[in-house]
Amino acid sequence: MKEFKDQIFEDDKIGDKFLAYSEERSVPEISINDSFTISVPAVKKKNKLFKSVLKLDKNFHVYIHGDRELVEKGVDENGKKFYKLYYEEES
């Protein structure tokens, strides 16, 4: 469970809360496997949530064809939303 926590949760505080919760909720009569397979349909569904066209404000569209790992979404300290796009070269 600790290895799972380290891989999934970036924030140690949240990961620690996850471990505490899982220990608190554990029932001795029920055993939970530490290993499991990843559901392919669930991964596909999650991937569909990523848009290939970002429609921002009015009349501003960004079309994305490529590696989704090169797009970062965030919010700045003033509450403004932003996207960071990483690329090797402009064509």
Domain containing 6: what range? 1-36
- What Å distances lie between residue 39 and 42, 43, 54, CA to CA? 5, 6, 27
Does residue 86 surpass a pLDDT of 80?
yes
In a domain, 45, yes or no: no
Q: pLDDT tens digits for 16-74?
A: 888 888 877 776 666 666 677 888 887 777 666 566 788 888 888 888 877 778 888 89
In a domain, 43, yes or no: no
Residue 75 pLDDT level (bands cut at 50, 70, 90): very high
Looking at residue 51, what is its pLDDT? Answer: 60
Looking at residue 1, what is its pLDDT? Answer: 75
Tell the residue number behind the tokens 């499991």, with chain if given: 36
Does residue 77 surpass a pLDDT of 90?
yes
Q: Are residues 28 and 54 in the same domain?
A: no
In a domain, 28, yes or no: yes
Q: How many domains does the chain have?
A: 2
CA 56 – CA 47 distance, rounded (Å):
20
In a domain, 41, yes or no: no
Q: Are residues 54 and 32 in the same domain?
A: no
Q: Are residues 30 and 55 in the same domain?
A: no
41 Rama class: left (phi>0) / alpha (psi -120 to 50) / beta? alpha
Q: Are residues 31 and 60 in the same domain?
A: no
Q: Are residues 54 and 86 in the same domain?
A: yes
CA 73 – CA 81 distance, rounded (Å):
8
In a domain, 42, yes or no: no
